[in-house]
Structure 1
Amino acid sequence: MPSLSRLLSRSAKPASIQRDSLRLTLEDGREIEVLRVRDPRARRIRLSVSERGARLTLPLRASLVSGDAFLQQHRAWLAAQIAAHGEAAPLQRGVTTQLPLRGVLHPLHWGSGRFSHVRMDDDGALTFVSPEHAGPAALQRALREFYEAQARADIGRWLPAYLPGLPRTPRRICLKVMSSQWGSLAPDGTLNLDLSLVLGAPSAFEYVLVHELCHLIHADHSRRFWSEVEARCPAWRDARDYFRDHGRRLKADLHALLA
Protein backbone atom coordinates (compact mmCIF):
# COMPACT_ATOMS: atom_id res chain seq x y z
CA MET A 1 0.00 0.00 0.00
CA PRO A 2 1.51 3.41 -0.94
CA SER A 3 2.54 5.69 1.89
CA LEU A 4 0.59 8.84 2.78
CA SER A 5 3.53 11.05 1.87
CA ARG A 6 3.72 9.45 -1.58
CA LEU A 7 0.01 9.95 -2.16
CA LEU A 8 0.21 13.60 -1.16
CA SER A 9 3.41 14.38 -3.04
CA ARG A 10 3.27 16.25 -6.31
CA SER A 11 3.26 14.04 -9.34
CA ALA A 12 6.21 14.31 -11.62
CA LYS A 13 5.71 16.61 -14.60
CA PRO A 14 5.38 14.55 -17.77
CA ALA A 15 8.25 14.87 -20.18
CA SER A 16 7.57 17.26 -23.03
CA ILE A 17 8.25 16.78 -26.71
CA GLN A 18 11.57 18.27 -27.80
CA ARG A 19 12.28 19.40 -31.34
CA ASP A 20 15.35 20.47 -33.24
CA SER A 21 16.64 20.03 -36.78
CA LEU A 22 19.71 18.63 -38.44
CA ARG A 23 21.19 18.55 -41.93
CA LEU A 24 21.55 15.29 -43.81
CA THR A 25 23.56 14.76 -46.99
CA LEU A 26 21.93 12.30 -49.36
CA GLU A 27 23.87 9.91 -51.57
CA ASP A 28 23.56 12.24 -54.57
CA GLY A 29 25.15 15.10 -52.61
CA ARG A 30 21.95 17.02 -51.85
CA GLU A 31 21.48 18.40 -48.37
CA ILE A 32 18.06 18.27 -46.72
CA GLU A 33 16.76 19.37 -43.34
CA VAL A 34 15.37 16.69 -41.03
CA LEU A 35 13.15 17.52 -38.07
CA ARG A 36 14.33 15.56 -35.02
CA VAL A 37 11.65 14.96 -32.40
CA ARG A 38 12.20 13.38 -28.99
CA ASP A 39 8.77 12.12 -28.05
CA PRO A 40 8.01 10.46 -24.67
CA ARG A 41 5.20 8.49 -26.33
CA ALA A 42 7.48 6.93 -28.95
CA ARG A 43 8.47 3.29 -28.47
CA ARG A 44 11.03 3.03 -31.24
CA ILE A 45 13.09 5.15 -33.60
CA ARG A 46 11.03 6.06 -36.64
CA LEU A 47 11.67 7.96 -39.87
CA SER A 48 8.78 9.44 -41.86
CA VAL A 49 8.16 11.83 -44.74
CA SER A 50 5.11 14.09 -44.98
CA GLU A 51 4.14 17.37 -46.62
CA ARG A 52 6.25 19.08 -43.93
CA GLY A 53 9.40 17.18 -44.88
CA ALA A 54 11.47 14.46 -43.23
CA ARG A 55 11.00 13.68 -39.54
CA LEU A 56 13.11 11.51 -37.23
CA THR A 57 11.28 10.47 -34.05
CA LEU A 58 13.27 9.26 -31.03
CA PRO A 59 12.05 7.67 -27.80
CA LEU A 60 13.32 9.23 -24.58
CA ARG A 61 15.88 6.49 -23.99
CA ALA A 62 17.35 6.59 -27.50
CA SER A 63 20.67 8.40 -27.85
CA LEU A 64 21.40 11.00 -30.48
CA VAL A 65 24.14 8.73 -31.80
CA SER A 66 21.70 5.88 -32.39
CA GLY A 67 19.32 8.30 -34.07
CA ASP A 68 22.02 9.57 -36.40
CA ALA A 69 23.04 6.00 -37.23
CA PHE A 70 19.41 5.10 -38.04
CA LEU A 71 19.18 8.13 -40.31
CA GLN A 72 22.36 7.19 -42.18
CA GLN A 73 21.13 3.62 -42.64
CA HIS A 74 17.92 4.87 -44.26
CA ARG A 75 19.34 7.57 -46.53
CA ALA A 76 18.45 5.60 -49.68
CA TRP A 77 14.85 5.10 -48.52
CA LEU A 78 14.56 8.80 -47.67
CA ALA A 79 15.90 9.85 -51.08
CA ALA A 80 13.43 7.51 -52.79
CA GLN A 81 10.50 9.00 -50.86
CA ILE A 82 11.54 12.53 -51.77
CA ALA A 83 12.05 11.56 -55.43
CA ALA A 84 8.66 9.83 -55.59
CA HIS A 85 6.73 12.83 -54.35
CA GLY A 86 8.98 15.65 -55.52
CA GLU A 87 10.35 18.56 -53.58
CA ALA A 88 7.99 21.47 -53.06
CA ALA A 89 9.49 24.92 -53.65
CA PRO A 90 8.64 27.96 -51.52
CA LEU A 91 6.93 31.05 -52.92
CA GLN A 92 9.52 33.66 -53.96
CA ARG A 93 8.86 36.95 -55.69
CA GLY A 94 10.30 36.95 -59.19
CA VAL A 95 11.58 33.38 -58.77
CA THR A 96 8.41 31.27 -58.73
CA THR A 97 7.31 30.90 -62.36
CA GLN A 98 4.27 28.61 -62.04
CA LEU A 99 1.58 27.74 -59.52
CA PRO A 100 -0.62 24.63 -59.20
CA LEU A 101 -4.37 25.05 -59.54
CA ARG A 102 -7.06 22.48 -60.41
CA GLY A 103 -4.53 19.83 -61.41
CA VAL A 104 -2.59 22.11 -63.78
CA LEU A 105 0.60 24.13 -63.39
CA HIS A 106 -0.28 27.66 -64.53
CA PRO A 107 2.41 30.08 -65.74
CA LEU A 108 3.01 32.86 -63.22
CA HIS A 109 4.03 36.41 -64.06
CA TRP A 110 5.09 39.03 -61.53
CA GLY A 111 4.03 42.66 -61.58
CA SER A 112 4.27 45.70 -59.33
CA GLY A 113 1.33 47.30 -57.58
CA ARG A 114 0.19 49.01 -54.41
CA PHE A 115 -1.07 45.83 -52.71
CA SER A 116 -0.43 42.12 -53.08
CA HIS A 117 -2.98 40.05 -54.99
CA VAL A 118 -3.18 37.28 -57.58
CA ARG A 119 -5.39 37.36 -60.66
CA MET A 120 -6.11 34.86 -63.41
CA ASP A 121 -5.80 36.18 -66.95
CA ASP A 122 -7.97 35.17 -69.89
CA ASP A 123 -5.27 32.84 -71.25
CA GLY A 124 -5.10 30.86 -68.00
CA ALA A 125 -1.86 32.43 -66.83
CA LEU A 126 -1.63 33.94 -63.36
CA THR A 127 -0.30 37.37 -62.49
CA PHE A 128 1.01 38.08 -58.99
CA VAL A 129 0.92 41.81 -58.33
CA SER A 130 2.76 43.10 -55.27
CA PRO A 131 4.85 46.03 -54.05
CA GLU A 132 8.58 45.65 -54.58
CA HIS A 133 9.14 45.66 -50.81
CA ALA A 134 6.46 43.06 -50.02
CA GLY A 135 7.71 40.42 -47.60
CA PRO A 136 7.03 36.67 -47.60
CA ALA A 137 4.08 36.97 -45.20
CA ALA A 138 2.27 39.45 -47.47
CA LEU A 139 2.84 37.27 -50.53
CA GLN A 140 1.66 34.13 -48.73
CA ARG A 141 -1.45 35.91 -47.45
CA ALA A 142 -2.33 37.09 -50.96
CA LEU A 143 -1.83 33.63 -52.42
CA ARG A 144 -3.95 32.03 -49.72
CA GLU A 145 -6.76 34.53 -50.39
CA PHE A 146 -6.56 33.67 -54.10
CA TYR A 147 -6.71 29.93 -53.48
CA GLU A 148 -9.61 30.33 -51.04
CA ALA A 149 -11.54 32.40 -53.58
CA GLN A 150 -10.96 29.79 -56.29
CA ALA A 151 -12.00 26.97 -53.95
CA ARG A 152 -15.19 28.77 -52.93
CA ALA A 153 -16.03 29.37 -56.58
CA ASP A 154 -15.77 25.63 -57.23
CA ILE A 155 -17.86 24.77 -54.16
CA GLY A 156 -20.45 27.35 -55.23
CA ARG A 157 -20.83 25.60 -58.59
CA TRP A 158 -21.14 22.09 -57.14
CA LEU A 159 -23.10 22.57 -53.93
CA PRO A 160 -26.59 23.47 -55.31
CA ALA A 161 -26.87 20.09 -57.05
CA TYR A 162 -26.43 18.18 -53.77
CA LEU A 163 -28.43 20.24 -51.29
CA PRO A 164 -31.92 18.95 -52.25
CA GLY A 165 -31.07 15.41 -51.15
CA LEU A 166 -29.74 16.35 -47.72
CA PRO A 167 -31.64 16.39 -44.41
CA ARG A 168 -30.14 19.80 -43.66
CA THR A 169 -27.57 22.18 -45.06
CA PRO A 170 -24.08 22.60 -43.61
CA ARG A 171 -23.92 25.31 -40.97
CA ARG A 172 -20.96 26.80 -42.79
CA ILE A 173 -18.03 25.70 -44.95
CA CYS A 174 -14.49 26.46 -43.83
CA LEU A 175 -11.27 26.07 -45.83
CA LYS A 176 -8.26 25.09 -43.74
CA VAL A 177 -4.71 23.86 -44.13
CA MET A 178 -5.13 20.32 -42.78
CA SER A 179 -2.19 18.05 -42.04
CA SER A 180 -3.71 14.62 -42.69
CA GLN A 181 -7.43 14.83 -43.42
CA TRP A 182 -9.07 16.12 -46.59
CA GLY A 183 -12.28 17.11 -44.90
CA SER A 184 -14.37 16.75 -41.76
CA LEU A 185 -17.87 17.48 -40.48
CA ALA A 186 -18.09 18.99 -36.99
CA PRO A 187 -20.99 18.12 -34.64
CA ASP A 188 -22.44 21.61 -35.13
CA GLY A 189 -22.68 21.04 -38.90
CA THR A 190 -19.56 22.99 -39.88
CA LEU A 191 -17.96 21.40 -42.93
CA ASN A 192 -14.16 21.73 -43.07
CA LEU A 193 -12.23 21.19 -46.29
CA ASP A 194 -8.49 21.12 -46.89
CA LEU A 195 -7.38 24.11 -48.94
CA SER A 196 -4.89 21.99 -50.89
CA LEU A 197 -7.86 20.34 -52.64
CA VAL A 198 -8.06 23.28 -55.02
CA LEU A 199 -4.53 22.49 -56.23
CA GLY A 200 -5.55 19.06 -57.52
CA ALA A 201 -8.05 17.51 -59.90
CA PRO A 202 -11.51 19.10 -59.56
CA SER A 203 -13.17 15.67 -59.63
CA ALA A 204 -11.23 14.68 -56.50
CA PHE A 205 -12.13 17.94 -54.78
CA GLU A 206 -15.82 17.42 -55.59
CA TYR A 207 -15.67 13.88 -54.22
CA VAL A 208 -14.42 15.13 -50.84
CA LEU A 209 -17.25 17.66 -50.75
CA VAL A 210 -19.78 14.90 -51.51
CA HIS A 211 -18.20 12.61 -48.91
CA GLU A 212 -18.56 15.17 -46.13
CA LEU A 213 -22.08 16.16 -47.21
CA CYS A 214 -23.13 12.52 -46.97
CA HIS A 215 -22.08 12.59 -43.32
CA LEU A 216 -25.08 14.86 -42.78
CA ILE A 217 -27.13 11.74 -43.62
CA HIS A 218 -25.00 9.10 -41.89
CA ALA A 219 -22.33 10.13 -39.40
CA ASP A 220 -20.41 6.86 -39.74
CA HIS A 221 -18.75 5.01 -42.64
CA SER A 222 -21.34 2.26 -42.77
CA ARG A 223 -22.57 0.52 -45.90
CA ARG A 224 -25.52 2.90 -45.98
CA PHE A 225 -23.13 5.86 -45.96
CA TRP A 226 -21.14 4.53 -48.93
CA SER A 227 -24.38 3.89 -50.79
CA GLU A 228 -25.19 7.58 -50.46
CA VAL A 229 -21.71 8.49 -51.74
CA GLU A 230 -22.01 6.03 -54.62
CA ALA A 231 -25.35 7.51 -55.69
CA ARG A 232 -23.88 11.01 -55.90
CA CYS A 233 -20.33 10.22 -56.99
CA PRO A 234 -20.07 6.86 -58.82
CA ALA A 235 -16.37 7.46 -59.58
CA TRP A 236 -15.40 7.92 -55.91
CA ARG A 237 -12.90 5.05 -56.11
CA ASP A 238 -10.98 6.90 -58.82
CA ALA A 239 -10.79 9.93 -56.54
CA ARG A 240 -9.52 7.74 -53.70
CA ASP A 241 -6.79 6.38 -55.98
CA TYR A 242 -5.93 9.92 -57.03
CA PHE A 243 -5.27 10.94 -53.44
CA ARG A 244 -3.18 7.83 -52.88
CA ASP A 245 -0.98 8.78 -55.84
CA HIS A 246 -0.92 12.57 -55.56
CA GLY A 247 -2.24 13.53 -52.14
CA ARG A 248 1.08 13.95 -50.40
CA ARG A 249 2.35 16.19 -53.17
CA LEU A 250 -0.73 18.44 -52.99
CA LYS A 251 -0.27 18.96 -49.27
CA ALA A 252 3.48 19.45 -49.65
CA ASP A 253 3.02 22.08 -52.37
CA LEU A 254 0.50 24.05 -50.32
CA HIS A 255 2.65 23.86 -47.19
CA ALA A 256 5.73 25.07 -49.07
CA LEU A 257 3.85 27.94 -50.73
CA LEU A 258 2.04 29.19 -47.62
CA ALA A 259 4.33 28.20 -44.70
Structure 2
Amino acid sequence: MSKLLRRLLAPRAPILERDVTSLELGDGRRVEIQRVRNPRARRLRLSVDERGARLTLPTRASLVSGERFLAEHRDWLADQLARYTLDGLPTLQRDITTTLPLRGAQVPLRWSEGRFTCVDFDALAGEIIVRAPARAGDAALRRALRDFYEGQARADVGRWLPKYLPSLPRPPRRVAFKVMSSQWGSLAPNDVVALDLALVLARPSAFEYVLVHELCHLLRADHSRAFWREVELRFPSWRDERDYFHAEGRRVKATLRTLLSG
Protein backbone atom coordinates (compact mmCIF):
# COMPACT_ATOMS: atom_id res chain seq x y z
CA MET A 1 0.00 0.00 0.00
CA SER A 2 1.41 3.39 -0.97
CA LYS A 3 2.08 6.13 1.59
CA LEU A 4 -0.58 8.30 -0.03
CA LEU A 5 -3.20 5.54 0.22
CA ARG A 6 -2.31 4.79 3.84
CA ARG A 7 -2.66 8.47 4.66
CA LEU A 8 -6.05 8.65 2.96
CA LEU A 9 -7.34 5.54 4.73
CA ALA A 10 -5.94 6.42 8.14
CA PRO A 11 -8.57 7.42 10.71
CA ARG A 12 -8.78 11.12 11.33
CA ALA A 13 -7.52 12.50 14.60
CA PRO A 14 -10.38 13.30 16.97
CA ILE A 15 -11.51 16.91 17.13
CA LEU A 16 -11.33 18.18 20.70
CA GLU A 17 -13.80 20.82 21.82
CA ARG A 18 -12.44 23.05 24.59
CA ASP A 19 -13.88 25.70 26.85
CA VAL A 20 -13.58 26.81 30.46
CA THR A 21 -15.95 26.39 33.37
CA SER A 22 -15.57 27.22 37.06
CA LEU A 23 -16.35 25.66 40.41
CA GLU A 24 -16.64 27.09 43.91
CA LEU A 25 -14.59 25.09 46.41
CA GLY A 26 -15.51 24.46 50.01
CA ASP A 27 -13.43 27.42 51.25
CA GLY A 28 -15.26 29.84 48.96
CA ARG A 29 -12.54 30.04 46.28
CA ARG A 30 -13.71 29.83 42.69
CA VAL A 31 -11.32 27.98 40.36
CA GLU A 32 -11.30 27.72 36.59
CA ILE A 33 -11.37 24.27 35.00
CA GLN A 34 -10.52 23.50 31.41
CA ARG A 35 -13.35 21.45 29.91
CA VAL A 36 -12.45 19.18 26.99
CA ARG A 37 -14.87 17.04 24.96
CA ASN A 38 -12.90 14.13 23.51
CA PRO A 39 -14.56 11.59 21.14
CA ARG A 40 -12.13 8.93 22.36
CA ALA A 41 -13.07 9.36 26.03
CA ARG A 42 -15.24 6.61 27.49
CA ARG A 43 -16.04 8.22 30.82
CA LEU A 44 -15.86 11.50 32.68
CA ARG A 45 -12.38 12.19 34.00
CA LEU A 46 -11.01 14.95 36.22
CA SER A 47 -7.25 15.53 36.33
CA VAL A 48 -4.91 18.09 37.87
CA ASP A 49 -1.32 18.99 37.08
CA GLU A 50 0.90 22.07 37.38
CA ARG A 51 -1.17 23.78 34.66
CA GLY A 52 -4.44 23.46 36.60
CA ALA A 53 -7.58 21.33 36.49
CA ARG A 54 -9.06 19.60 33.44
CA LEU A 55 -12.40 17.86 32.97
CA THR A 56 -12.63 15.42 30.05
CA LEU A 57 -16.07 14.46 28.76
CA PRO A 58 -17.12 11.76 26.26
CA THR A 59 -19.00 12.98 23.19
CA ARG A 60 -22.46 12.09 24.52
CA ALA A 61 -21.97 13.32 28.08
CA SER A 62 -24.07 16.38 28.89
CA LEU A 63 -22.66 19.53 30.43
CA VAL A 64 -25.03 19.03 33.33
CA SER A 65 -23.48 15.62 34.08
CA GLY A 66 -20.08 17.28 33.94
CA GLU A 67 -21.09 19.95 36.45
CA ARG A 68 -22.54 17.26 38.73
CA PHE A 69 -19.29 15.26 38.45
CA LEU A 70 -17.26 18.33 39.44
CA ALA A 71 -19.49 18.99 42.44
CA GLU A 72 -19.13 15.40 43.62
CA HIS A 73 -15.34 15.66 43.42
CA ARG A 74 -15.02 19.16 44.92
CA ASP A 75 -13.03 18.03 47.97
CA TRP A 76 -10.71 15.83 45.90
CA LEU A 77 -10.10 18.73 43.51
CA ALA A 78 -9.23 21.07 46.37
CA ASP A 79 -6.71 18.57 47.75
CA GLN A 80 -5.08 18.08 44.34
CA LEU A 81 -4.86 21.80 43.61
CA ALA A 82 -3.18 22.33 46.99
CA ARG A 83 -0.70 19.60 46.13
CA TYR A 84 0.19 21.29 42.87
CA THR A 85 0.49 24.79 44.34
CA LEU A 86 4.20 25.55 44.46
CA ASP A 87 5.43 28.71 46.16
CA GLY A 88 8.58 30.61 45.32
CA LEU A 89 8.83 29.73 41.61
CA PRO A 90 11.20 32.11 39.78
CA THR A 91 9.95 34.51 37.13
CA LEU A 92 11.82 36.37 34.40
CA GLN A 93 11.50 40.10 35.06
CA ARG A 94 13.83 42.57 33.41
CA ASP A 95 16.35 44.16 35.80
CA ILE A 96 14.60 42.43 38.73
CA THR A 97 15.41 38.73 38.38
CA THR A 98 18.91 38.15 39.78
CA THR A 99 19.32 34.37 39.42
CA LEU A 100 18.12 31.64 37.09
CA PRO A 101 18.02 27.86 37.62
CA LEU A 102 20.49 25.77 35.63
CA ARG A 103 21.82 22.25 36.25
CA GLY A 104 20.42 21.97 39.75
CA ALA A 105 21.71 25.35 40.97
CA GLN A 106 20.73 29.00 41.04
CA VAL A 107 23.12 30.87 38.76
CA PRO A 108 23.70 34.65 39.08
CA LEU A 109 22.04 36.67 36.33
CA ARG A 110 23.32 39.95 34.86
CA TRP A 111 21.25 42.24 32.64
CA SER A 112 22.93 44.18 29.83
CA GLU A 113 21.91 46.39 26.92
CA GLY A 114 22.36 44.90 23.47
CA ARG A 115 21.26 45.28 19.85
CA PHE A 116 19.60 41.87 19.88
CA THR A 117 17.87 39.85 22.57
CA CYS A 118 19.99 36.87 23.61
CA VAL A 119 20.98 34.89 26.67
CA ASP A 120 24.56 33.64 27.17
CA PHE A 121 26.54 31.84 29.83
CA ASP A 122 29.87 33.31 30.97
CA ALA A 123 31.72 30.25 32.23
CA LEU A 124 34.63 32.28 33.65
CA ALA A 125 32.38 34.55 35.68
CA GLY A 126 29.92 31.76 36.41
CA GLU A 127 26.93 33.89 35.46
CA ILE A 128 24.12 34.08 32.91
CA ILE A 129 23.99 37.29 30.87
CA VAL A 130 20.79 38.59 29.27
CA ARG A 131 21.43 41.17 26.55
CA ALA A 132 18.44 43.01 25.12
CA PRO A 133 17.52 46.36 23.59
CA ALA A 134 15.43 48.69 25.72
CA ARG A 135 12.35 48.01 23.59
CA ALA A 136 12.51 44.21 23.99
CA GLY A 137 9.29 42.81 25.44
CA ASP A 138 8.65 39.88 27.76
CA ALA A 139 7.89 37.51 24.87
CA ALA A 140 11.29 38.19 23.28
CA LEU A 141 13.04 37.60 26.60
CA ARG A 142 11.24 34.29 27.11
CA ARG A 143 12.08 33.11 23.57
CA ALA A 144 15.74 33.93 24.14
CA LEU A 145 15.70 32.09 27.46
CA ARG A 146 14.19 29.01 25.85
CA ASP A 147 16.86 29.07 23.13
CA PHE A 148 19.52 29.40 25.82
CA TYR A 149 18.21 26.45 27.82
CA GLU A 150 17.97 24.29 24.70
CA GLY A 151 21.55 25.18 23.75
CA GLN A 152 22.77 24.23 27.22
CA ALA A 153 20.79 20.98 27.13
CA ARG A 154 22.24 20.06 23.73
CA ALA A 155 25.73 20.76 25.03
CA ASP A 156 25.14 18.35 27.93
CA VAL A 157 23.82 15.63 25.65
CA GLY A 158 26.78 16.20 23.33
CA ARG A 159 29.17 15.49 26.21
CA TRP A 160 27.37 12.37 27.42
CA LEU A 161 26.25 10.68 24.23
CA PRO A 162 29.63 9.51 22.82
CA LYS A 163 30.36 7.22 25.77
CA TYR A 164 27.08 5.32 25.32
CA LEU A 165 26.94 4.98 21.53
CA PRO A 166 29.46 2.09 21.19
CA SER A 167 27.23 -0.26 23.20
CA LEU A 168 24.06 0.50 21.22
CA PRO A 169 22.86 -1.30 18.07
CA ARG A 170 22.41 2.09 16.34
CA PRO A 171 22.50 5.76 17.29
CA PRO A 172 19.30 7.73 17.81
CA ARG A 173 18.16 9.43 14.65
CA ARG A 174 17.84 12.77 16.41
CA VAL A 175 17.49 14.29 19.88
CA ALA A 176 14.63 16.77 20.23
CA PHE A 177 13.71 18.93 23.22
CA LYS A 178 10.11 19.67 24.20
CA VAL A 179 8.24 21.05 27.17
CA MET A 180 6.50 17.91 28.44
CA SER A 181 3.65 17.84 30.93
CA SER A 182 4.27 14.42 32.49
CA GLN A 183 7.02 12.46 30.74
CA TRP A 184 10.74 13.16 30.98
CA GLY A 185 11.61 11.49 27.72
CA SER A 186 10.44 9.14 24.99
CA LEU A 187 11.74 7.18 22.00
CA ALA A 188 9.64 7.34 18.83
CA PRO A 189 9.37 4.42 16.38
CA ASN A 190 11.68 6.32 14.01
CA ASP A 191 14.40 6.40 16.71
CA VAL A 192 13.98 10.08 17.55
CA VAL A 193 14.67 10.69 21.24
CA ALA A 194 12.50 13.41 22.78
CA LEU A 195 13.63 14.91 26.10
CA ASP A 196 11.89 17.34 28.41
CA LEU A 197 13.62 20.72 28.23
CA ALA A 198 13.12 21.05 31.99
CA LEU A 199 15.87 18.44 32.45
CA VAL A 200 18.48 21.16 32.01
CA LEU A 201 17.21 22.69 35.26
CA ALA A 202 17.59 19.41 37.16
CA ARG A 203 20.82 18.09 38.58
CA PRO A 204 23.05 16.79 35.75
CA SER A 205 23.09 13.19 36.97
CA ALA A 206 19.28 13.08 36.74
CA PHE A 207 19.36 14.51 33.22
CA GLU A 208 21.97 11.97 32.15
CA TYR A 209 19.92 9.12 33.60
CA VAL A 210 16.88 10.06 31.48
CA LEU A 211 19.09 10.14 28.38
CA VAL A 212 20.46 6.67 29.21
CA HIS A 213 16.94 5.39 29.88
CA GLU A 214 15.74 6.43 26.43
CA LEU A 215 18.90 5.15 24.71
CA CYS A 216 18.33 1.74 26.29
CA HIS A 217 14.99 1.59 24.51
CA LEU A 218 17.03 1.17 21.33
CA LEU A 219 17.93 -2.21 22.84
CA ARG A 220 14.61 -3.06 24.50
CA ALA A 221 11.31 -1.40 23.58
CA ASP A 222 9.69 -2.36 26.90
CA HIS A 223 10.32 -1.94 30.62
CA SER A 224 11.09 -5.59 31.28
CA ARG A 225 13.74 -6.86 33.66
CA ALA A 226 16.05 -7.18 30.67
CA PHE A 227 15.56 -3.47 29.93
CA TRP A 228 16.40 -2.44 33.49
CA ARG A 229 19.52 -4.63 33.40
CA GLU A 230 20.67 -2.63 30.38
CA VAL A 231 20.01 0.62 32.26
CA GLU A 232 21.85 -0.55 35.37
CA LEU A 233 24.81 -1.72 33.31
CA ARG A 234 25.26 1.82 31.98
CA PHE A 235 23.96 3.85 34.93
CA PRO A 236 24.15 1.93 38.24
CA SER A 237 22.79 4.83 40.33
CA TRP A 238 19.54 5.13 38.36
CA ARG A 239 17.42 4.47 41.45
CA ASP A 240 18.84 7.57 43.15
CA GLU A 241 17.80 9.66 40.15
CA ARG A 242 14.33 8.12 40.11
CA ASP A 243 13.97 9.13 43.78
CA TYR A 244 15.18 12.62 42.89
CA PHE A 245 12.43 12.99 40.28
CA HIS A 246 9.81 11.77 42.72
CA ALA A 247 10.91 14.45 45.20
CA GLU A 248 11.79 17.35 42.90
CA GLY A 249 10.36 16.59 39.47
CA ARG A 250 7.10 18.50 39.85
CA ARG A 251 8.92 21.67 40.93
CA VAL A 252 11.45 21.36 38.12
CA LYS A 253 8.71 21.12 35.50
CA ALA A 254 6.68 23.94 37.05
CA THR A 255 9.76 26.17 37.21
CA LEU A 256 10.43 25.90 33.49
CA ARG A 257 6.79 26.43 32.62
CA THR A 258 6.65 29.56 34.82
CA LEU A 259 9.83 31.02 33.33
CA LEU A 260 8.76 30.44 29.73
CA SER A 261 5.10 31.41 30.02
CA GLY A 262 5.26 34.42 32.30
Q: How high is the TM-score relative to the length of structure 2?
A: 0.77
Is the contact between residue 207 and residue 236 of structure 1 (CA under 8 Å) also seen in structure 2?
yes
1:109 Cα deviation after fit: 4.2
Tell me which residue corresponds to 1:138: 140
- Identity across matched positions, percent: 63
Instruction: Determine if contact 2:49/2:84 at 8 Å carries over to the other structure.
Output: no
With over 3 angstroms needed to count, the CA separation of the structure-2 counterparts of 1:254 and 1:30, relative to structure 1, is farther
Question: How many Å separate the matches in 2 of 1:106 and 1:32?
Answer: 35
Q: How far does residue 94 in structure 1 lie from its aligned partner after superposition?
A: 4.5
Query: Is 49-58 or 146-155 further displaced after alignment?
Result: 49-58
| CA positional deviation for 1:65 | 4.2
Q: 1:15 to 1:175 in 2, by over 3 A?
A: closer
- Please give the alpha-carbon distance, in whole angstroms, between the structure 1 residues aligned to 2:23 and 2:136: 32
For CA contacts below 8 A with separation 6 or more, give which structure has more relative contact order.
1
TM-score, scaled to structure 1: 0.78
The 5 Å alignment of 1:88-107 reads 91-94=92-95, 96-107=97-108
Deviation at 1:241, TM superposition (A): 2.5
Structure 1 pair 67/82, CA: closer, same or farther in 2 (3 Å)? same
* Cα distance in structure 1, aligned partners of 2:41 and 2:241: 33
Look up the match of 1:8: none
Call closer, same or farther: CA 1:49–1:132 in 2, change over 3 Å.
farther
Deviation at 1:27, TM superposition (A): 5.5
> Which range moved further: 26-35 or 212-221?
26-35
Gaps of at least 5 residues in structure 2 are 1-11
Kept after mapping to 2: 8 A contact 1:171/1:191:
yes
Match of 1:212 in 2: 214
1:148 is aligned, of 147, 150, 171, to 150
Q: Within 5 Å, which residues of 2 pair with 1:4-153?
A: 16-24=15-23, 32-87=31-86, 91-94=92-95, 96-121=97-122, 122=124, 124-153=126-155
CA RMSD of aligned residues (A): 3.1
**2:3 aligns to what?**
none
1:107 & 1:34 partners in 2: Cα distance? 37
Structure 2 CA distance, aligned partners of 1:61 and 1:189? Answer: 38
Cα distance in 1 for partners of 2:217, 2:82 equals 36
Residues 60 and 224 (structure 1), Cα distance of their counterparts in 2 relative to 1, 3 Å cut:
closer
Q: Hey, what's the Cα distance between the residues in 1 that align with 2:233 and 2:240?
A: 15
CA contact (8 A) 1:50 1:252 kept: no
Q: How does 1:183-222 map onto structure 2 within 5 Å? A: 183-222=185-224
2:50 and 2:85 in contact (8 A); partners too: no
